[in-house]
Chain A
Amino acid sequence: MFDRREKALRKLRKDLRSGLYSYLVLSLLEKEELHGYAIRKRLEKLSDGRLVPSEGALYDILKSLKKTGLVGDTWAEVGGRPRKYYSLTKLGREVLEELKGEIMTIELVLERLEGEK
């Protein structure tokens, strides 16, 4: 029983977070260009360490966002080593604006659900 609960929780958490992380990354990049490490640190700080994607998960998210043309990247030489920085593209900004509306709808629905209880 416990295993099934954990399994279901893990699956739903994964489903929920995969989209959420993409949205949060786009939101972080809306204001400024950031290094991948800084993206993780910002998420860690904003969520008090509760919403921090692993390196592998963030790598896949950034790769997917780049593939869909929402995020672009630039290399800069820091201390003799190439470092990669990510920024939002024009398309990324447009998509983020659309998503913001949908997030607000989700928030509204959740608030109403809470109100019904």
Chain B
Amino acid sequence: MTWKEFEVALSLFLLFSSLLVLAFRGRRNPLIGFRVGYTYHSERVWRKVNTFSGLAMLAISLLLLGIALHGVPINVFVLMAVALLLGIVFAGLIMAKREYELEELSTEAPEKPKGKILRTDIKPYLLLQLGFMAFYLLLVALFWDKLPERVATHFTTGGPDSYGSKFWGVLGVPVLAWLLPFLLTIPAKDPGFFAKANFYPKSLRGWCAFTTLLSLGLVLVFTSALFYNAGMASVKAINYSAYTTLGMVAVGIYFLLRDAYGGS
């Protein structure tokens, strides 16, 4: 498959997904659509946000399809797709939160809180993740002079199969990858974010533990790649760190499943 075919296939996949979102905009479900607590718990908010995100995704997929057919480098295409999709997610979240909270003000509820109080302190998890990144950046600063100008950025079990600039390979990619679990932890501060439904974290602590373990695993992999590029570790070290990371993700999934079946 050529990069152009890949770009077209991705655009068509997004087009299909947008039609699916629009088709289910009137039916709340835990699998298809803009599924956060705010939308899942309100029929009105579900319809509004899914109509918006479905239409926005449809427009973006058509735009990307046009760009793909016209021909652009894969990096530009992927960056555009990610930025536009993140834009939809961000706008959809703001819309969902506002609409849900507006609905709260017009929907009868017990005057004083009677049910289970939903609260999670995410600060310790965020601080831990910041600590992982700070540790990695410290190592980068220490070994910066030992690194070649072109560093290995991707590995198979036999060795590196892709190279990039020192700045991008040692700082850019690791920081961007680390941001993913970090940003995914933040919604847990808002108990309205996750739907009270199947397939969703039942406890926000379990979710935070999962993202923190993922963050640790990623930093472990990037640290071993840093040592490899500095000539201080073999490719075996990277393999072991990748297996350890998979193990951590498995433990994180265990936390999520344990919570789903009534654990704390």
Residues on A close to B: CB < 8 A?
32-40, 55-56, 58-59, 74-85
Contacts and interface: CB of A to CB of B under 8 A. Distances in A.
Nearest to A85: B113
A84 B112 contact: no
A84 B107 CA distance: 11
Interface residues of B, number: 25
A74 B196 contact: no
23 contacts: A34-B111, A35-B111, A35-B112, A36-B104, A36-B105, A37-B104, A38-B112, A55-B105, A75-B191, A76-B118, A77-B116, A77-B118, A78-B109, A78-B113, A78-B115, A80-B41, A81-B196, A82-B41, A82-B191, A82-B192, A83-B109, A83-B113, A84-B192
B118 A82 contact: yes
A30 B174 CA distance: 48
Contacts of A59: 98, 101-102, 105
Given A32-B112, A75-B118, A76-B113, A81 B41 contact: yes
Nearest to B113: A76
Dominant secondary structure at the B interface: loop
B192 A38 contact: no
B190 to A, nearest CB: 8
Nearest to A78: B115
Contact of A74 (B104, B109, B113): B113
Interface in B93-113: 98, 101-102, 104-113
B168 to A, nearest CB: 38
User: Which of A32, A36, A58, A82 has the largest count of B CB atoms less than 10 A from its CB?
Assistant: A82
Nearest to A84: B104
Contacts of B109: 35, 37-38, 78, 83
Contacts of A78: 109-110, 113-115
Contacts of A56: 102
A76 B106 contact: no
A82 B97 CA distance: 12
Contacts of A76: 113-118
Nearest to B41: A81
B205 to A, nearest CB: 15
Contacts of B112: 32-35, 38, 85
Contacts of B37: 82
User: Which of B108, B109, B117 has the largest count of A CB atoms less than 10 A from its CB?
Assistant: B109
User: Which of A33, A34, A59, A75 has the largest count of B CB atoms less than 10 A from its CB?
Assistant: A75
Given A59-B98, A76-B115, 4 more contacts: A32-B112, A33-B113, A39-B105, A82-B192
Nearest to B192: A82
A59 B97 CA distance: 11
Nearest to A40: B105
B119 interface: yes
Contacts of B113: 33, 35, 74, 76, 78, 83, 85
B57 to A, nearest CB: 26
A37 B98 contact: no
Contacts of A33: 112-113
Contact of B106 (A34, A37, A77, A83): A37
B117 A74 contact: yes
B178 to A, nearest CB: 29
B75 to A, nearest CB: 39
A81 B109 CA distance: 10
